[in-house]
Amino acid sequence: MSEQWQQISALDGIVCFRLRTWTDFFDFVEAEVFEAQSGFGNSYLWRGQRRSDWKLTTSLDRLYAQLNLLKAPPSALEQMSLKHLESFKYASRGRRGVNPALLPEDELWWALGQHFGLATPLLDWTSSPFAAAYFAFEDLASDPTEYRIVFGLNKALVDQKNKEFDEGPSFEAGSPFVEFVEPLTDENARLVSQGGCFTRAPIGTPIEDWVSGAFKNSTDATLLRIEIPDADRIACLRTLNRMNINHLSLFPDLTGASRYTNLKFELEPLIDQRAND
Strands in 5-11's sheet, in edge-to-edge order, are 5-11, 14-19, 223-229, 147-154, 44-49, 122-126, 196-200, 179-181
Q: What's the pLDDT at 12? A: 95
Q: What's the pLDDT at 76? A: 92
* Distances in whole angstroms, Cα of residue 12 to Cα of each of 123, 134, 271: 21, 28, 44
Q: Which of 29, 38, 35 is nearest to 150 (CA)?
A: 29
Q: What's the pLDDT at 197? A: 87
Q: What's the pLDDT at 184? A: 59
Q: Terminus-to-terminus CA distance in the chain, angstroms? A: 38
> Torsion angle of alpha carbons 85, 86, 91, 93, nearest 10°?
120
- The whole-number mean pLDDT for each consecutive block of 10 residues of the chain, a chain of 277 residues, reads 87 96 95 81 91 96 95 91 95 80 82 89 94 93 93 94 67 67 60 68 93 92 97 93 82 67 68 49
pTM of the model: 0.85
Annotate the chain with three-state secondary structure. Answer: CCCCEEEEEEECCEEEEEECCCCHHHHHHHHHHHHCCCCCHHHEEEEEECCCCCCCCCHHHHHHHHCCCCCCCHHHHHHHHHHHHHHHHHHCCCCCCCCCCCCCCHHHHHHHHHHCCCCCCEEEEECCHHHHHHHHHCCCCCCCCCEEEEEEEEHHHHHHHHHHCCCCCCHHHCCCCCEEECCCCCCCHHHHHHCEEEEECCCCCCHHHHHHHHCCCCCCCCEEEEEEEHHHHHHHHHHHHHCCCCHHHHCCCHHHHHHHHHHHHHHHHHHHHHHHC
Model pLDDT for residues 142-174, shown as the tens digit of each residue = 899 999 999 999 999 999 888 887 555 444 444
